[in-house]
Chain A
Amino acid sequence: MYYAAVLTTVWFLCTKLLLRSGSFLSRRIRSILLVVPLAVPAVALVTTYGIGYFQSIDAVRGLGEVAPYADSFTATAASYFAFVQPPSPSLYISPSMLTTLLGAVALSTGAVIFVSMLLLGGRISRRAFGVVIMEQEDYPEVQERVRIMSSRLGITAPSVGLVEDLRPNAFSIGRGGDATIVFSLGILDILEGDELDAVISHELAHIKDGDSTFKALMNALIAISFFNPLAYLSASAALREREMLADERGARMLARPQALASALVKVGNSLRAFPPERHLMRLAAATFLVSSFEHRSEVTSLHPMIKARAWNVLGLESRSIPSRRRLAAALVVSSLILLGGVVASFYLVDMQAHMLLVFLPKAPLAFNYTSYNGFGGQNTQVPNFVGFAHQPGFHSISSFGGDSGLRAAHLSRCHLPHTISHI
């Protein structure tokens, strides 16, 4: 997990630098590149738990050695699943178990979020926002425009809804044939003609790009890396790219792409009359939305500055001072986190090894599969994955996750008593 956090950070930095220098990449590729650092912990967790689990089952059945990645938690779970008596009385609680537990909780939370957003996201946000599905008599010209633009984009026309909000906003919910494009009374009030077409094309582009699935994935990955502030930065950067992508795709469908810019400016100006949103419920519900046309400048913002978007649509990429400042901030934060991450992982694993030696100095070590399986009582068959453990200070990075510290302590006790005093 520590490795994964460090990797996320490094990856994020590289992606950022790459994107900074390479404006040749399309928005779609940029957004996908930004997902990669977020996916690292998820992939790491799934792989280590997966391998650890299966190998632990084998080990418990006496078919093989315990996996390097397997820790006490996975191994205990494996023994239960394999209908084998767990190696009692070796059940104990170690700090690394908490890490594993945290990872397992994060992984399952991510999975639950992903699935529930895909299956229930539409229904939840329709209810949370009080979306009224339009009848034939409701804004027939808007509905007609949605139909025309949908056929131009080659997608099934989504249902059209409205919310009572007097602030200008539009958003889309759901995906594929089940999608709904929603307008606030405020936006229907201030936009006209081709500006309305522009907003419709933007939202339809979101639907066509499958951005609700994209967003569900982002939220799931954030949940897995909840401890890493960079995950939030990376996710919001990826979603910004999707936003720009929808803008560009939408603008290409318009006879007059400037209409999108003018719609954005109108929305921006009109929003100034309203104080910023602080309603917790709304923020919570907003996670289920694919997109929201309005601009929110807080940390939760999924939308780039309206000005930047307007310039983008007009074909004038704005690469001005604020973006450089953002890069600098990202660099500083990244390096701090990188440093913090490495130090913290060293510290944690050391601490865990230390605690084990303090609290369990004489107790038989847990998950001593070798003795449990009857391959001899001495811990002579310790796999070589803890090779670094011989050098004090390095054992903290000897394994991808799990009980590396425990194993290090274990080894230290068995083979290298002189290192104990060092720890």
Chain B
Amino acid sequence: MTAKRTYKVSRYNLDGDQFEGFLGPLGAEILETVWDSEGEPMTVRKVYEELRKKTKIAYTTVMSTMDRLYDKGLLDRRVERGKGGVFFVYWSRLGKKHFEESAVRTVVSSLFRNFGSTVTNALIEEVATNEGDLQALQKQIERIASEKKK
């Protein structure tokens, strides 16, 4: 169900943990819940009940947030008939890993576009604090360089 597609980040919040930066705390939590369901389509009520286990939340809040995630193209939905009537079921359009890559790439490329070398320096400095990461970066640069030569 996870088609190969990119996610266009519209804003990034520096204070958010993990996906919260991209989606806000509730959006991130909902998406995590949908990912945890391992491909099984979720109704708003199921997500609501999962979230209720952790925190006090209103059904309509979950509903409107899932509606927004659908508008953003992160969730997909269809009308399904089942126990309790006719209702929407949702599933995620991007896998967790795929979403992470796609979102981070969009932010980084936006930074590069605007600040170029500053970003490169900042990245290298960030990475340089850890010896292992530095070596990995070195290897990656060599690999990319050799690929370009070919």
Q: Which residues of A contact B (CB under 8 A)?
A: 128-130, 132, 134-139, 162-167, 169, 184-186, 274-275, 277, 279, 281-282
Contact = CB atoms under 8 A, between A and B. Distances in A.
Given A130-B45, A132-B48, A167 B85 contact: yes
Contact of B60 (A129, A139, A169, A277): A139
B67 to A, nearest CB: 11
B61 interface: yes
A279 B58 CA distance: 29
Contacts of A132: 45, 48, 59
Contacts of B58: 134-138
B86 interface: yes
Nearest to A273: B86
Interface stretch (B76-84, B121-129, B139-147): B76-84
B88 interface: yes
Contacts of A169: 85
A261 to B, nearest CB: 24
B60 A166 contact: no
B112 interface: no
B54 to A, nearest CB: 15
Interface string B52-84: 000011111100000000000000000101111
Contact of A164 (B56, B57, B61, B88): B88
Contacts of B88: 164, 166
A173 to B, nearest CB: 14
B59 A135 contact: yes
Contacts of B43: 164
Contacts of A166: 79, 85-88
B91 to A, nearest CB: 16
A163 B87 CA distance: 9
Contact of B85 (A134, A135, A137, A282): A282
Given A132-B59, A135-B59, A137-B60, A282 B83 contact: yes
A163 B60 contact: no
Given A130-B45, A132-B45, A162 B59 contact: yes
B85 to A, nearest CB: 3
A282 B59 contact: no
B44 interface: yes
Contact of A282 (B44, B45, B60, B84): B84
A83 to B, nearest CB: 50
A334 B45 CA distance: 47
B84 A165 contact: yes
B79 to A, nearest CB: 7
A300 to B, nearest CB: 15
A169 B86 CA distance: 11
Contact of B86 (A136, A274, A281): A274
Contacts of B87: 164-166, 185
A132 B61 CA distance: 13
A166 B89 CA distance: 12
A164 B79 contact: no
Contacts of B48: 132
Chain B CB within 10 Å, residue with most, of A132, A162, A163, A169? A132
Nearest to B44: A164
A129 B84 contact: yes
Nearest to B61: A137
Interface in B21-62: 43-45, 48, 56-61
Contact of B59 (A128, A138, A167): A138
Interface in B91-122: none
Question: Which 9 pairs between the two chains have the least Cβ-Cβ distance?
Answer: A165-B85, A135-B58, A137-B58, A164-B87, A138-B60, A132-B59, A130-B84, A166-B86, A138-B58
A163 B82 CA distance: 13
B29 to A, nearest CB: 17
A204 to B, nearest CB: 22
Chain A CB within 10 Å, residue with most, of B45, B83, B85, B86? B85
Nearest to A294: B85
A277 B43 CA distance: 19
Given A130-B45, A162-B59, A164-B88, A279 B83 contact: yes
A287 to B, nearest CB: 15
B20 to A, nearest CB: 21
A165 B59 contact: no
Contacts of B83: 128, 130, 279, 281-282
A162 B44 CA distance: 12
A2 B94 CA distance: 67
